[in-house]
Amino acid sequence: MYPRSLVTTVVALGVAAVAMSGVPAVGQAPRPGGVLNVTQREDSPQGFAIHETSTISTVWPAMPCLSNLVIFDPLKQQESAESVVGELAEKWAWQDGNRSLVLSLRKNVKWHDGQPFTSKDVKFTFDMVRGAPDAGKLRINPRKGWYENVEAIEAPDPHTVVFRLKRPQPSLLLMLASGYSPVYAAHVPPAQYRTTCVGTGPFKVKEWRKGEFIDYVKNPDYFIEGRPYLDGMRYVVIKERGTRVAALQAGQVDVSFPGDMSPTSGEQLKNAVPGIVVRPTHENVNNNIIMNMKKPPFDNAKVRLAVSHAIDRRALTTAVHQGGGVVGAAMAPKPHGVWGLPEKELLALPGYGTDPAEEKEKARRILRDLGFTPQNPLRVEMATRAIAIYVDMASFVINELKQVGIEATLKQVETAQWHAMATRGDYQIGANLTGIGPDDPDANFYENYVCGSPRNYSFYCSEQVEKMIEQQSAELDPAKRMRMVWDIQKRLEQDAARPMLNWRLDHFTTWPKVKNLVPHQSLYNWGRMQEVWLDR
Amino acid sequence: MKTYIAQRLFVAGLTLFGMSVVIFALLRLAPGDIVDVLFSAAGYVDPSERQLILEELGLDEPVWKQYVTWIAQIFTGDLGKSYRYDLPAWEIIKPLIPVTVELAILATIVSVLLGVPAGVMSAVRQDTGFDYALRVVSLAGLSMPSFWLGMVIILTLVAWLGWIPPLTYVSPRENFWLHSVQFLLPALAVGYRSSALIMRITRSAMLEVLREDYIRTAWAKGQAGRAVVWRHALKNAILPVVTVIGIEFAFLIGGLVVTETVFNLPGVARFLVEAILWRDYPIVQNLVMIIAIVVIFTNLIVDLLYGVLDPRVRYGG
């Protein structure tokens, strides 16, 4: 029996923790007004042109200006099919045997330049993104693959839009809900979004001082009554990490940059500023190993498996990421993600077992069978991006590989060259990071694992897996689909298609006065800010 | 004098031409270009899209043609367009220059105010405890990188006061006090390092001059110590110090990268590094040329100052 005072204290601390967690506090009515200062790690690389990039450095500061058809509920921590809510679309329905998604659009929505928003804008945007003939063209189009299944987009009247699909695809709605899927104005050239923003979002761009800040003011014509709560926002570019942490501590910024805070920085801030809110937040970004299957020795699945067995993922998480990571397979692990493998099945995969010595022995056995011994080790070159978070991971992996008889030398590749090199296949093995927009199997598998997909740096290509991916994509029964997605993940790890090392955890930090800013399990989808308010 | 200046300007022109070739060539020799960086942010590369962007930016042209276009642009006063921002390069470069120039001037003032008197006093009291103390302080200044000192200043302020200087540029017209604080702290961090160098140069120059016969004569004639040291000795020892001050100032214009980054000041150096990483050729090429012009003209001004400070210096024709 615990003393009554101890129980009371524990309960009180628990309640306080929940109240501080950014979830709308019970009994606290949102108060309008105030300016939120938000950290920005670098100047937005593509301005507000979200469709032309994948980096969070653009998505995060550009989201408040734009709107989607649908979006993940900003106040729910876990994104899923159930958390999708309307944004420019008031309601939607699947028709024609789930081959048509019919969306009814809000009326009286205006672009920031005063022009009316209509279904033409939606058709213009998504025809352009899917690369339809006679549509506008994006300079760079990283998510064209998301819309391969879209046969046509129709705008029968100004307030209705229909996505006609080749086959049912429940994921379409989740991809449309991602921060990567804003609607552009048809009357604005897409290139203009690189310098200015004409959106329908809760905030209008007031000023973008290059390399310094982006200033937003409240959009008085925003289509949701009473939103946004804030009068404005400033995204302050702070290049130096130490200065970013100091700026948070000094209260010059109220919110950290998503994906930027390590457990150590979070701890340091918590010690320095009582009451500051630090939340371990899943990023939907994984650390992984890419192996070029077009070239020996990694065209041999056994060699790839040996690599996967050799790496102690838990030690990597502790030693390199200071505990800021979770071990999982190709989909975000539970409880953060929806589609992650159950623990038991994960532990049975090559390299994921809890006994690293046993896993390493398996790796040595495979290599021995292939003729590699300590006297005759397998020599490879490990490429990675010349950025600390990549190099630290690669160095750890090299040490792990050495223990099983793989001698890897580190080759640091300048950032400008990294993706070009990986896409060309000018490497043997690499330490890589992959971010995925929504926590959704289609968004992940079609981008990273199907034959010839744009980010399939390993050149993995399996007809059988591709079929499995197509089948899960069309499956309407959620429970059945879940099992299919698990099977795909197991198969990907058994083939060592791209062994996952861990999934990154951010220690997202806000001042306690910041309310209703709820981080989701993917850092790309919750930057709209219309629900955020300041308890001043 | 006129001939000398004309000669120097001719050499400056040649130097700038050489610089333009070197920077242009080096940028093209570095692996990757803006298109690679753009695709890197998208996480993939599409060869046909890549080719279209190269054409759009004129990067598919032969390299010599790109060089000629750039030089022609300079002569017409058009610095081209930033690849990254899709805006005129001058529009981006212009607001950066006053920030860096102000910081460099302030840092130079700090370094002179600290370095010259310390060097003189150290020389006058050679081998005393005071001299040793000053030498230790100056050695520390030389050993401590200014960015490290800058970070220590930031961390100390935040730990002790829970406050740091503003992280977005505050113009003097907006708030003079905040503006001064924003610039004074980085100027101290940078100026301390420079002052250490100036102090050492001043000390050694002063030690040499203090042993000259005319100084001994001045002492013997019973002139006041202050007059001997500051009027006679320092005036004769100042030439190498002025040279170092000039070099330091010129260096600061392009060498403030880390200080500008730590204090989050939107200056030339920080932006230059960013532009190099982005392979934003129009920004890098033009910024380097601007820095080169500042360095060349600072040196010229220093050389001309010699004549003012020492009438014995004559400028040959």
A160-204 residue pLDDT tens: 999 999 999 999 999 999 999 999 999 999 999 999 999 999 999
pLDDT at A19 over 80: no
C-beta neighbour count of A350 within 10 angstroms: 21
**A420/B279 touch (CB, cutoff 8 Å), yes or no:** no
- Give residue A12's pLDDT: 41
At B312, is the pLDDT very low, low, confident or very high (cuts 50, 70, 90)? Answer: confident
- Give residue A357's pLDDT: 97
pLDDT at A300 over 90: yes
Lowest-confidence range among A310-319, A523-532, B145-154?
Answer: B145-154
A125-141 residue pLDDT tens: 999 999 999 999 999 99
Find chain A residues with C-beta within 8 A of B46's C-beta. Answer: 140-141, 454
Question: Residue B226, exposed/middle/buried by CB under 10 A (0-12, 13-18, 19+)?
Answer: exposed
- Give residue A28's pLDDT: 84
- Give residue A20's pLDDT: 43
Return the CATH superfamily for domain A9-220+511-534: Periplasmic binding protein-like II (3.40.190.10)
A362-397 residue pLDDT tens: 999 999 999 998 889 999 999 999 999 999 999 999
Q: Is the peptide bond before A190 cis (omega within 30 degrees of 0)?
A: no
Q: Pick from A35, A128, A284, A419 the residue to mutate for testing the B interface (most B CBs within 10 Å).
A: A419
Find chain A residues with C-beta within 8 A of B36's C-beta. Answer: 416-417, 419-420
Q: Is B38 on the interface with A (CB under 8 A)?
A: yes
Of all residues in chain A, what percent carry a pLDDT higher than 70? 95
Return the CATH superfamily for domain A283-505: Dipeptide-binding Protein; Domain 3 (3.10.105.10)
Distance CA B46, CA A334 (A): 34
- Partners of A100 in the β-ladder: A95, A164
pLDDT at A27 over 90: no
A214-251 residue pLDDT tens: 999 999 999 999 999 999 999 999 999 999 999 999 99
Looking at chain A, the domain(s) classified CATH 3.40.190.10 span: 9-220+511-534
A424-469 residue pLDDT tens: 999 999 999 999 999 999 999 999 999 999 899 999 999 999 999 9
At A16, is the pLDDT very low, low, confident or very high (cuts 50, 70, 90)? Answer: very low
A304-323 residue pLDDT tens: 999 999 999 999 999 999 99
Q: What distance lies between CA A74 and its chain's CA centroid?
A: 15
Of all residues in chain A, what percent carry a pLDDT higher than 90? 92
- Give residue A195's pLDDT: 95
- Give residue B253's pLDDT: 86
In A154-312, which residue ranges form alpha helices assigned H by DSSP?
Answer: 171-176, 241-250, 263-272, 301-310
In chain B, which residue ranges form alpha helices assigned H by DSSP?
Answer: 2-29, 34-42, 47-57, 63-75, 89-93, 96-124, 129-143, 146-161, 176-210, 213-220, 225-226, 234-255, 257-262, 268-278, 281-309
- Which positions 256-315 of B are in contact with A (Cβ < 8 Å)? 261-264, 266, 270-271, 274, 277, 279
Give the mean model confidence (pLDDT) for residues A254-282.
95
- Asked if B187 and B110 count as a contact pair (C-beta separation under 8 A), the reply is yes
A494-523 residue pLDDT tens: 999 999 999 999 999 999 999 999 999 999
At B4, is the pLDDT very low, low, confident or very high (cuts 50, 70, 90)? Answer: confident
**What sign results for the dihedral spanned by CA atoms A344, A348, A352, A353?**
positive
Q: Residues for chain A: how many in total?
A: 536
The pair of structure tokens assigned to A444 is 């992940």
- Asked if A211 and A73 count as a contact pair (C-beta separation under 8 A), the reply is no
- Give residue B316's pLDDT: 60
State the count of interchain CB pairs (< 8 A) between A and B. 146
Please give the domain boundaries of chain B with CATH numbers for all domains.
Answer: 2-93 (no CATH), 96-265 (1.10.3720.10)
Interface predicted TM-score (ipTM) of this complex, two decimals: 0.89
- Give residue A514's pLDDT: 98
Find chain A residues with C-beta within 8 A of B164's C-beta. Answer: 243, 246-247, 250, 252
Of all residues in chain B, what percent carry a pLDDT higher than 70? 99
Q: Is B87 on the interface with A (CB under 8 A)?
A: yes
Vertex A280 angle, CA A276 and A286, to 5°: 145
Q: Is B59 on the interface with A (CB under 8 A)?
A: no
At A17, is the pLDDT very low, low, confident or very high (cuts 50, 70, 90)? Answer: very low
Distance CA A259, CA A479 (A): 31
Model-level pTM? 0.92
pLDDT at A279 over 80: yes
pLDDT at B147 over 60: yes
- SS3 of residue A170 by DSSP: coil
- Asked if A522 and A508 count as a contact pair (C-beta separation under 8 A), the reply is no
Direct distance between the N- and C-terminal alpha carbons of chain B, in angstroms, rounded to an integer? 7
- Which positions 74-133 of A are in contact with B (Cβ < 8 Å)? none
- Asked if B292 and B19 count as a contact pair (C-beta separation under 8 A), the reply is yes
Q: Give per-residue burial for A195-224: e unless 16+ CB within 10 Å, then b.
A: eebbbbbbbbbeebebbbbbbbebbeebbe
- Which positions 140-159 of A are in contact with B (Cβ < 8 Å)? 140-142
The pair of structure tokens assigned to B116 is 């010259």
At B307, is the pLDDT very low, low, confident or very high (cuts 50, 70, 90)? Answer: confident
Torsion of Cα atoms, A350 then A354 then A356 then A360, to 10°: -20
- Asked if A229 and A32 count as a contact pair (C-beta separation under 8 A), the reply is yes
Distance CA B152, CA B139 (A): 18
**B158/A195 touch (CB, cutoff 8 Å), yes or no:** no
- Give residue A41's pLDDT: 95
pLDDT at B217 over 90: yes
The pair of structure tokens assigned to A64 is 């408040």
Q: Pick from A240, A271, A276, A424 the residue to mutate for testing the B interface (most B CBs within 10 Å).
A: A240
Q: Pick from A252, A253, A458, A524 the residue to mutate for testing the B interface (most B CBs within 10 Å).
A: A252
**DSSP letter for each residue of A119-141:** HHHHHHHHHHHHT-TTS---SS-
